[in-house]
Amino acid sequence: MAGDGNTPLKTSDDHPDDLVLQEYALGQSEAEQAAEVGQHIAQCARCRARVEEWRQFGERLAADLRRDLDRVTPAEPLEFSRIARQWRVPRRRTSPATIWRLSFPALLLGLLLWMAFWLVSGRRTAALRALDLLEDYDGPPVVLAAVTDRGLVVVRLVPGEVRLEQRLSYVTHPAGLQLAPDGEWLAFTQDRILHILGTRAGGAHLEIPLAGLAGWAWSPDGSALAYTDGAGQLWLFERHTLSSRLLVPASESAWGKLAWNPDGTQIAYVTARPLPPVAGGATHQSLWRVDVLSGLRVELARRLPEAGALLSAEAWLASGEGLLAWETSPADGENLATLYQVDVSGHLLTALDGKVPVQGENLSWPLGPQARALVWDGRNLVIWHLQEQKKQPLAGQLAWPQTVDWSADGAWLAAVLAGAPPGQGVILFALEASTLRAISLPADATERAIFCGGPEHLFVIRQPQGRETAEVWLVSLVERAAPRRLMSSVALPEAGPYNGWRWDDVFALRVLD
C-alpha cells in the first residue's frame, strides 16, 4: 500500500518484536528471517531506527571489549601446578568399541554433509550444462544476468572459471535488469515488485512493493539505488543498511527514470500530474534535482507538453552543470524522442537537432561517455558531441542500427544493423578516424544485440535460425581468436513497437575492474 508521502511504505501492519530486531542487528538471524526483517525495515522507519540503535550498541560493546583486552595483564604470581598435575596423569586407554561409539555420529554427519554438497553441486552442474556455458572462458571478468528457460540466472565469469551464482526459477518476465557498477547487486521488477538481489551465491534478496510505473538507477559508486515507486514517491535504498529512506513525497508526483550526477550527490527526476499512465497523458511536467544528503529539491525546468508526450531525465554532463533529457511525442508515430540539453544553473531547456528511437522507458541508442549521442537528424545518422556542441557524420551509407553500445572511453561505437544477413550484422565505428569495421560471425544466426566488454571484447546476442531463444557470443577485437559461443537458452525479449526489442528486460552485463 502506498503511503501519503510523509511516512514510508509498510509491507505489513505487524512489526517484529525487539528480540527479532536485536538478532537481525547483531547478525544472528537465520537467512529466511533476515530477508523478512530486511524487507520490513526497508519500508518501516520505526523498526529501522530500532535496528540502528541495537547495531550501534553492539559496536560500542565490541569496542569496549577490545579496549579492555588491550589493557589486561596476567595476575601475579602465575600458577601452573594444576596444569603440571594434570600432565602427569596417565592417559586413559580407549577400547575399539568406545572409539566406534564416539566416532560414528561424526562419520554419519560427515556423510550427510558430503551428500548435501554433492546434490547441490550436481544441480549447479546440471544447470550449467543446460545453459551450455563455455568452460574455458578467456574473456574479461564480467557478471551477467539473463532470463533463460530455467528462470533468471546470474553468472560470474573470470578467465579460467565460470560460476553460476544465482538461479531464480520463478523470475520469468522481469523488466529493467540493472547491475550495480561493481557487479555485486542486481535490481529489476516483476509483477509490481522491485527486487534487489545480491549477485553472490547465497546473497541477500529484498522485495519492495510498487504501486505502478517505476524507475530505478544505481549511484556511480554502487552504494545506493534510487527508485520511484509508482505512487509519486522517490526513495533511496542504501546497501550498507539494507533499508530505504524517502527523498521525495507522494504529493510531488515523482515518476519514471532517474539520473545521478557524476559525484553521486544529486539525482535528477521528473514530476508529472497526473501520474502516468493516464489517458491523454500528463498535462504538467517538470524536471527536478534532489540533494541526496539534505533532501533539498530544486526545479530545473518546466514543460507543458502536448497530450501523450512524456519527459524523461537521461544523464548528466561530466561537469555536473548540464543535464540531458528527452521527450517522446505521439505525433511522430515512430517512437522517436527529441533530445534536450538542460542548463542546471540557468533553468533552460533547449531542444537539440536530432532524434533517437525509444523502446519503453529507455533510449534504443543509449548515450555514450563524454556526452556523445548517435542521433537521426532527419536526413543522416550523426554523432552529437554534446560537450563540444558539434556534429560528426557517420562514414558511408550506414544501415539503421537496431542496437548500439559504446566503448568505456567513448572512442568507438558498436552497432547491430537492422536487416543485415546472418553473420554480417555487427560493425564498429572509430570516432577519431571516422572509419567503419565489419565484424564477421558464423552465418547460422542473426545478430540481435551488442554489449561492449572492455577495450578488447564484444558480447553479441544472436538468434539461431529456426530457434525461439538466443545465444551469447564472445568476440575478441585484438586477437585472431575465432568468435566463441558463451551461453545458450537466453530468452528473447518482448518486441517493441519500433526498431527491435527491449533487451534490458532479459539481459544485463557488467565488466568488472
DSSP string covering 421-448: PTT--EEEEETTTTEEEEE---TTEEEE
Task: State the cell numbers at 316.
Answer: 548528466
Can you give the pLDDT at residue 9?
34
For 104-150, the pLDDT digits (tens) are 566 666 666 655 555 444 444 555 566 778 788 989 999 999 999 88
Domain 214-392, architecture per CATH: 6 Propeller (2.120)
Contacts of 34 (CB under 8 A, 6+ apart): 24, 204
**Cα–chain center distance at 152:** 13
Which of 204-218, 290-304, 323-337 bottoms out in mean pLDDT, i.e. has the lowest?
323-337
pLDDT bracket for residue 21 (50, 70, 90)? confident
Give 314: exposed, middle or buried? Use CB within 10 Å, 0-12, 13-18, 19+.
buried
H helix or E strand, kind and range, residue 154:
strand 151-158
What's the pTM value of the predicted model, to 2 decimals? 0.74
> Is the CB of residue 338 less than 8 Å from the CB of residue 351?
yes
H helix or E strand, kind and range, residue 195:
strand 193-198
Residue 61 has pLDDT above 90, yes or no: no
SS (H, E, C) 141-191: CEEEEEEECCEEEEEEEECCEEEEEEEECCCCCCEEEEECCCCCEEEEEEC
**Domain coordinates in residue numbering, the chain:** 18-69, 214-392
> Is the CB of residue 426 less than 8 Å from the CB of residue 439?
yes
Q: Cis ω on the peptide bond leading into residue 274 (within 30° of 0)?
A: yes
Distances (CA, A) of 187 to 59, 198, 223, 419: 30, 9, 13, 32
Name which residue leads in pLDDT, 85 or 409: 409
Give CA–CA dist 41/8, Å, rounded. 10
Give CA–CA dist 246/360, Å, rounded. 26
